[in-house]
Structure formats: structure tokens, C-alpha cells
Amino acid sequence: MAASKEDSHSQFHQNVKQSNLKANGQYDQPIRHSRSHSTSDLPAREFEERTLKPSLYEEAGTESPDDALYSEVSSLDSNFSCACCYELMVQPTTLNCGHSFCRLCLARWWKTSQKTTCPECRQPWTGFPHINIIIRNTIDKLHPKAIRRRTASLQPFEDTKLLQEFEEFGEAEEKTRESETAGGRQDRLRKGFVWGVLTTLGLVFFFQILLNWNRQDSEMLVYKPLSRWRPADVSQWLSELGAWAADGYSRQFNASEINGVLLEGLQSEGELEKEPFNINNSLHRQAILIALEKVKQLGGKPPIDLWEFKALHQGLSTFLSYTVREFPRLTMTGMYMFYYEDVFLPFIHLVCPARSAVSGEANIIVQYYSEDIAWEQWVEFIPKFLFLPYYLYAEFAWNFADVNALPVAFTLANCAFLTMVEAKAITAFVRRGVRTTFFSLKRQTNMLFVIFFSCLLWPIIPTILTDLMFYISMYYSPCINFYEVFMQ
């Protein structure tokens, strides 16, 4: 009897141990396994615990620890299940809406539907979805064996090819989005740049109108005949001839009340030596007489700065401001053929002065009042004309930096930018040939049409509109060329 009791007790303890192992192992299975167990295999004590304890928790209105643990694990596993295949997610990918899927399932959905929407809620995703690293690492830690089996089952060639196609689609989408973003940023930058330049140009134009509001062109010396010159006008004219005349003769003539009528009556150099002129230097007398003859020929003082030239030649100044920018060499050729004495001769004497054998004050007449061009000047002028035409214009503008500082600064900057633009055009021609150069001449062709129609309609164009065109060419052109060189 004792032996039989010991055998029955050992058998009971063995059954309890096996039932405990089964009970502890039931939560390690996936959530798809049934929770039901056969009560016939359980010993009496555990059967009572499995049947009586839930009733006690139900009477108390609380949840049993086993049910709570099972519910928690089931909820945890369901969050790691793909909403398409209802399996454990491999390479979990989370969309903008918050739903997560296997990356292969998402690729299959994209391939079959040809849509970039969520397979569950149909909400479009923005951007390209990437693998959720946090969910992937969590699954790897909680279900290492299951995820290895799932990953091994998804290695066929078709699946790999589909995933590769899906990734290529994503890369193309990201490149397109980046280019659109860069293009939008470039458009915003371009619009901001243009509006900034237009605002600045408008302010400059407004202040220029205010400065010239009470200024009458008829009172400028370029319009005044010599007979109407007052002593102050004579003093101003002498000061503009150079430092040699401004230092002594300008104040002397003003103090002596010498007006335009007295100057108009001068016939010979000897008269300047007498009272009230008292000029003892023969070279100075000769230079003043030559300058005086030019005033008599023109009917007014020759223009000495940009604004005087614009007031005297309004149409020509506006025309040159556009043609110099687009056709520098052709403009110089036109000046030589049609405006030799008025424009070209002063231009070449300033940018390529003659190296006269006469030095000192005697060089004044040769440099500023000579109507001949020496061969040394042509030797210096022609290479610059062919290879660096904008450098010639910059040299010409630099001579007026003391009287027109702001326009000269814009002109020098514009000449530098235009030289760079021309260098870029030559480089493009060398690399790409004639076809690219033909398309790059589109702006010059449009400018030719604008100039042609402006010449036809010039008599009926209001003066304020011509001034606006001049200021646009003067102040807006450097900004456009800067944008073309550095920002395109």
C-alpha cells in the first residue's frame, strides 16, 4: 500500500509540472492560436483554480491576472501585424496616416492599384515612406524566430524585383520633389530679386524727379547762347576746362564781371592779354580761344557730364544706353560714322589719349581740342575695340567719376558684368557650337525690334517715359546682368 501511495503521489506531481509548463508556454504562441485547453488533462487542483478563480473575479467585478496578461500580449502582437497580410510585419513601413504595413505588401498595393494611398484608409501619402526602425527593432527583440521565418519566406526573385522597383520609384519621386522644391526656391528668389530691384529703381526714379523738379533745361549752359552768359556762367565754364583754368582764371573772370557778351566780342589771342582778361600765358590764351570757338559753333557749352549730355541729346543718350549694352562694337562703329565730332572724337581722346611730344601745359590743346587721331591712338584703340569693348566704356565713364559718382559706379559694374556675360557666351559657343549661340542671340534680336519701333514712335513718346527708359537702362541693367552671371 505504501508503495502504491508513493507511486500515485509522484504521478500527481509529474502531471502538475507538465500542466504548469503547458500553462506557461501558452502565451509564447502567436495570437492566432486558440486559447481553449482541454480540462480533462488538468489535475483537480489546477482545474479548480482555472474554473473557480474567474468566477470569483467576475463576482468582484475585476479582471483576472491571466486574462489581463493574455489581453495585453494579444494587443501587443496585433499592433505588429500587417493590415494587408495579417502576418507579422517584415520591414514595417509607416505611412503619414499612421498605419503600418509590410514593405512588400505596400509595394504590391502600389503595383496593383497604381496609387500612392494607404491600403486601409485610402489617404494619400506625402513623400516616400521609409522603414520604421523602432517597430522593426521591437519585433526583432520580441519575436526573433518568427521574424526570421517570415523574412526567409519572402526571398523569391519576384518579391526582390518588386521591392527594387518600388525603391526606384521612391528615389525618382524624391528627386522630382527636390527639383520642384529647388525650382520653387529659385522662383521665389528670382521674384524677390526682381521686386527688390524694381523697388530700388522706383525710388531712384522718384528722387531723381524731385531733384530735377525745379531745374529748367533752358537755364543749363548747354542750352544758353553765349550772349546770355552771366559772370557766374563764365566762371563755371572756365572751371570745367581744367585745373589750369579753374585755379586762377575762373575767380579772376568772375571778379572782373566778365560776361558772355565780352567773350563773344573776342577776335584774336592778343585781346586776352589786355584788360580785363590779363592772361599772360600764350598757351592758356590759345586753349581758351579754341574752347570759345567750340561754344560759338555749338550755340552753347559742350556737355561736360552725363546729365548735360542727356539734356542736350535726350534721344541719342537713351538710344546709346541700350545699344552699348547689347551691341558695343556696332555702337562704336555707328558713332564713328554718324557722330564723329560730337561723340566719337571726345570718346577716343579720353579713352586713348595721344602721347604728344609736347609735354606739360602744351599738351592740353593736343589732348582735348585736336580734331586729328594719331596712329598711336588707333593702335591702342583697335585691340580694345575687338576684344574688350566694355573696358573702353568703363574707361570713358571713369573720367566723370568726380561729377557723376552714382551713375559711374553703376556703369563700371555693368561693364564688368557684361564682360563676364560675353565671356560665358564665347565659352558656350566653343563647347556647344552654333546652335546654342543662335538661341542666345534671342535677347539681342528682341532689343533690335524694340529700338526700331522706339525710333518710329519717338516723336509721340512722352518725355517722362523716355526718362524712365533711360533710368531702367542705367540702374536696372547692372542688376539683371549680375543675376545672369552669378545666380543663373
What average pLDDT does the segment 331-342 reach?
A: 91
Answer yes or no: do 376 and 451 share one domain: yes
Q: What is the pLDDT of residue 337?
A: 93
In a domain? residue 192: no
User: How many other CB atoms are found less than 10 A from the CB of residue 303?
Assistant: 20
Answer yes or no: do 394 and 474 share one domain: yes
User: Which residue among 110, 141, 171 closes a domain?
Assistant: 171
In a domain? residue 134: yes
Angle, CA of 236, 240 and 246, to the nearest 5°: 75
In a domain? residue 86: no
In a domain? residue 84: no
Answer yes or no: do 143 and 165 share one domain: yes
User: Which residue among 46, 79, 112 closes a domain?
Assistant: 79
Q: What is the pLDDT of residue 280?
A: 87
C-alpha cell at 4: 502504491
Q: What is the pLDDT of residue 22?
A: 42
Using the predicted structure, report yes or no on whether residue 417 has a pLDDT greater than 90.
Answer: yes
CATH number of domain containing 133: 3.30.40.10
* pLDDT tier at 373, thresholds 50, 70, 90: confident
* pLDDT tier at 214, thresholds 50, 70, 90: low
Using the predicted structure, report yes or no on whether residue 30 has a pLDDT greater than 60.
Answer: no
Q: What is the rounded CA–CA span in Å between residue 110 and residue 480?
A: 47
Structural domain that includes position 124: 92-171
In a domain? residue 178: no
Answer yes or no: do 147 and 277 share one domain: no
Q: What is the pLDDT of residue 420?
A: 93
- Residue ranges of E strands in 150-215: none
Q: Express as a percent the part of the chain with pLDDT over 90.
A: 12
- CA dihedral for 187, 188, 193, 198, sign (positive or negative): positive
Q: What is the pLDDT of residue 186?
A: 67
Q: What is the pLDDT of residue 57?
A: 42
Please state, in angstroms and as integers, the Cα–Cα distance from residue 77 to each residue in 19, 87, 101, 138, following that order. 25, 10, 14, 11
Q: What is the rounded CA–CA span in Å between residue 63 and residue 57?
A: 6
485 alpha-carbon distance from chain centroid: 10
Peptide bond into 156 cis (omega under 30): no
In a domain? residue 395: yes
Answer yes or no: do 291 and 316 share one domain: no
Cell 553703376 sits on residue: 410
Answer yes or no: do 47 and 117 share one domain: no
Whether the model clears a pTM of 0.75, i.e. scores above it, the answer is: no
Provide CB contacts within 8 A for 69, sequence distance 6+: 27
C-alpha cell at 248: 586762377
Answer yes or no: do 343 and 481 share one domain: yes
In a domain? residue 239: yes
DSSP, residue by residue, 476-487: IHHHHHHHHHHT
C-alpha cell at 99: 498605419
Q: Are 483 and 193 in contact (CB under 8 A)?
A: yes
Answer yes or no: do 113 and 75 share one domain: no
Number of domains in the chain: 4
259 alpha-carbon distance from chain centroid: 57
Q: What is the rounded CA–CA span in Å between residue 289 and residue 269?
A: 7
Q: Are 447 and 326 in contact (CB under 8 A)?
A: yes
Using the predicted structure, report yes or no on whether residue 133 has a pLDDT greater than 50.
Answer: yes
Answer yes or no: do 368 and 447 share one domain: yes
Helix (H) or strand (E) holding 8: helix 2-25
Question: Measuring CA to CA, which residue among 277, 280, 242 is closest to residue 262?
Answer: 277
User: Which residue among 79, 107, 140 closes a domain?
Assistant: 79
Using the predicted structure, report yes or no on whether residue 251 has a pLDDT greater than 70.
Answer: yes
Strand partners, 81: 88
Q: Are 88 and 139 in contact (CB under 8 A)?
A: yes
C-alpha cell at 384: 580694345
Cell 495579417 sits on residue: 86
Residue 313 per-residue DSSP state: S
What average pLDDT does the segment 3-9 reach?
A: 46
Q: What is the rounded CA–CA span in Å between residue 77 and residue 71?
A: 10
Answer yes or no: do 435 and 312 share one domain: yes
Answer yes or no: do 386 and 364 share one domain: yes
* pLDDT tier at 360, thresholds 50, 70, 90: very low
Answer yes or no: do 344 and 285 share one domain: no
Conformation bin of residue 23: beta by default, left when phi > 0, alpha when psi is -120 to 50: alpha
In a domain? residue 206: no
